[in-house]
């Protein structure tokens, strides 16, 4: 009996033909991208109530390591305690409200307010008050003056935070399937090879929308057409309560469109967009050469394509490097799955690599601006991880940082859309079927703005 794997969901998942579009609003009002009043409602109804990724567990490897996380005018500090647990607190001293931490650092002995030298343990408890006996009218209730806690949980190597004092557990917010489906990728073992933050001239939801559909590939990413077959009815969708997963097969078009040699050429171009493919190419080319005749002409028999050879090469290469890929399907060796975790997390992931795009409202509150955070991860053997680990980059001069090709094309496109959305006579966007993930995403936005969640 064949064992099932979490990635097998694509075999029975709905296609566009199976989805009831009557359940989704395909006209999305443009005011939610440009209206300051709606931005304020989002701040109250979404950003103060939801779990979101605020970093990687690997950023806080040692006891006392901390980092600040800010969203608009709210500031939090996340710290690893002596018990190895990662906790979150409101980033304000309980004495006079001074900000305790800025940026990132280490405080093995605890957190110290530089204003009046009140000190706190890594678990948030108030430990010391400067000249306590001389300055207090009665014994201090140190327990009652602990740092204000904020819900923090970790999953798949990510740190999640929710500022809501009544936050539901992360597992309830994500639903019962997410953790199980992520586990076989071993995301927690991957190394951060790109970590870039930059302000953009567009609404934060423009960023989310851009990565929730492949309809724009023909217009913005023509170089991918030899690698991704644009067939909407081969895509598969898992539309959850608040989140979604979609899959479009990495499938070079069949021999009627491209020859076997052209299929191989398309695969060889993949590292321009998906760098970790490079490691599998030597084995891929060895496998391809098995199908060349003495004159070096290439022909694939029935059942063999450049895609299936890439899948085999990727599995063999990653296994040889030490990654356990037994929990992943063949399709997950080649196909990127697009994950949307509400409200602002998009990830493409395949065996051995992932890229995450996160967007948040701009600190100024201007709905026409946002901040995005790009992180790419690769699985590497222990001895190579230090050489490839990327340091965080904050881009201050727009356009000065060059992203990999496909991401650069999206980076240049999104501000153009925001300019169009600001036209007063344009009242809504009109989605097509291939943009069902956007429609699903905005149905969740609708529920939060209506106070239904």
Q: What pLDDT score does 137 carry?
A: 63
The overall average pLDDT reported for the chain is 92
Under a CB-based contact definition with an 8 Å cutoff, are residues 181 and 10 in contact?
no
C-alpha separations of 447 from 45, 387, 413 in Å: 10, 45, 28
pTM comes to 0.93
Q: Per residue in 420-434, pLDDT tens?
A: 999 999 999 999 999
Q: How far is CA 263 from the centre of its chain?
A: 30
Classified by CATH at the fold level, domain 1-50+177-452 comes out as: Naphthalene 1,2-dioxygenase Alpha Subunit; Chain A, domain 1 (3.90.380)
Contact call for residues 356 and 347 (beta carbons, < 8 A): yes
Contacts of 260 (CB under 8 A, 6+ apart): 291, 298, 299, 300, 306
In this predicted model, what pLDDT tens digit does every residue of 316-351 receive, in sequence order?
999 999 999 999 999 999 888 999 999 999 999 999
- Percent residues over pLDDT 90 in the chain: 79
* Residue 334 in tokens: 């080649």
Q: For residue 140, is pLDDT > 80?
A: no
Between CA 424 and CA 339 the distance in angstroms is 33
Pinpoint the residues of the chain covered by CATH 2.102.10.10. Answer: 52-166
Q: Mutual orientation of helices 260-268 and 281-289 as an angle, nearest 10°? A: 170
Burial 397-426 (b: 16+ CB within 10 A, else e): eeeebebbebbebbbebbeebbeebeeeee
| pLDDT (mean) for 255-265 | 76
pLDDT digit string, tens, across residues 388-421: 999 999 999 999 999 988 899 999 999 999 999 9
What is d(CA 78, CA 101) in angstroms, rounded to the nearest whole number?
10
pLDDT at 130: 83
CA separation for the pair 381, 447 (Å, rounded): 44
| 66-96 CB burial, b ≥16 within 10 A, e <16 | bbbbebbeebbbbbbeeeeebbbbbbbbbee
Taking only the tens place, the pLDDT of each residue in 214-258 is 888 777 877 766 555 567 778 899 999 999 999 987 655 444 567
Highest CATH level, class, for 52-166: mainly beta
Tens digits of per-residue pLDDT, 198-215? Answer: 999 999 999 999 999 988
Q: Given a cut of 80, is residue 273 above it in pLDDT?
A: no
What value does the mean pLDDT take over residues 267-275? 76
Kindly state the average pLDDT of the residues 181-193. Answer: 96
Looking at the chain, the domain(s) classified CATH 3.90.380.10 span: 1-50+177-452
User: Does residue 11 have a pLDDT over 80?
Assistant: yes
Q: What is the mean pLDDT of residues 82-100?
A: 97
Q: Report the pLDDT value the prediction gives residue 281, as an integer from 0 to 100.
A: 95
Is the Cα torsion angle 26, 30, 35, 39 positive or negative in sign?
positive
What's the rounded mean pLDDT across residues 246-274? Answer: 74
Q: What is the mean pLDDT of residues 184-210?
A: 97
* 305-326 mean pLDDT: 94
Q: What is the DSSP string of 148-202?
A: PEEEEEEETTEEEEE--TTPPPHHHHH-SSHHHHHGGGTGGG-EEEEEEEEEESS
Cis peptide before 343 (omega within 30 of 0): yes
Confidence of residue 1 (pLDDT cuts 50, 70, 90): very low
Q: Look at residue 267 and tell me whether its pLDDT is greater than 70.
A: yes
Q: What is the pLDDT of residue 253?
A: 43
pLDDT of residue 230: 64
Q: How confident is the model at residue 263 (pLDDT cuts 50, 70, 90)?
A: confident
Mean pLDDT of 183-200: 97
What would the mean pLDDT of 29-50 be, rounded to a whole number?
Answer: 97
Distance from CA of residue 128 to its chain's centroid? 39
Instruction: Return d(Cα 237, Cα 212) in angstroms, integer.
Output: 11
């Amino acid at each position: 009996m064949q064992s099932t794997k979490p990635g097998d969901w694509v075999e029975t998942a709905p296609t566009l033909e199976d989805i009831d579009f009557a359940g989704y609003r395909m006209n999305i009002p443009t005011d939610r991208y440009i209206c300051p009043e709606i931005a304020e409602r989002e701040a109250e109804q979404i950003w103060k109530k939801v779990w979101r990724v605020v970093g990687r567990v690997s950023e806080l490897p040692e006891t006392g390591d901390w980092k600040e996380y800010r969203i608009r005018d709210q500031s939090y500090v996340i710290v690893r305690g002596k018990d190895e647990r990662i906790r979150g607190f409101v980033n304000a001293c309980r004495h006079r409200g001074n900000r305790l931490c800025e940026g990132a650092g280490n405080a093995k002995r605890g957190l110290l307010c530089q204003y009046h030298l009140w000190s706190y343990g890594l678990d948030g408890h108030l430990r010391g008050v400067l000249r306590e006996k001389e300055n207090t009218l009665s014994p201090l209730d140190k327990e009652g003056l602990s740092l204000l806690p904020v819900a923090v949980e970790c999953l798949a190597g990510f740190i999640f935070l929710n500022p809501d004092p009544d936050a539901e557990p992360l597992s309830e917010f994500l639903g019962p399937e997410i953790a199980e489906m992520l586990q076989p990728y071993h995301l927690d073992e991957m190394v951060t090879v790109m970590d870039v933050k930059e302000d953009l001239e567009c609404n934060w939801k423009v960023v989310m929308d851009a990565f929730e559909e492949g309809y724009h590939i023909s217009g913005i990413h023509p170089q991918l057409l030899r690698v991704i077959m644009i067939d909407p009815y081969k895509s598969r969708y898992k539309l959850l309560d608040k989140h979604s997963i979609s899959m479009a097969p990495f499938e070079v078009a069949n021999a009627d469109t491209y020859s076997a040699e052209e299929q191989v050429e398309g695969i060889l171009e993949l590292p321009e967009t998906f760098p970790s493919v490079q490691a599998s190419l030597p084995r891929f080319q060895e496998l391809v050469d098995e199908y060349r005749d003495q004159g070096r002409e290439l022909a694939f028999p029935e059942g063999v394509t450049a895609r299936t050879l890439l899948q085999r090469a990727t599995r063999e290469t990653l296994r040889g490097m030490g990654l356990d890929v037994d929990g992943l399907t063949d399709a997950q060796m080649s196909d990127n799955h697009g994950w949307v975790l509400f409200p602002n997390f998009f990830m493409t992931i395949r065996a051995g690599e992932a890229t995450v795009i996160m967007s948040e409202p701009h600190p100024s509150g201007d709905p026409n601006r946002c901040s995005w955070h790009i992180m790419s991860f690769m699985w590497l053997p222990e001895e190579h991880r230090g050489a490839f680990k990327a340091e965080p980059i904050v881009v201050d001069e727009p356009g000065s940082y060059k992203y990999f090709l496909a991401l650069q094309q999206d980076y240049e496109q999104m501000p153009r859309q925001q300019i169009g959305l600001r036209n007063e006579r344009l009242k809504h966007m009109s989605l097509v079927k291939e943009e069902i993930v956007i429609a699903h995403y905005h149905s969740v936005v609708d529920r939060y703005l209506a106070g239904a969640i």
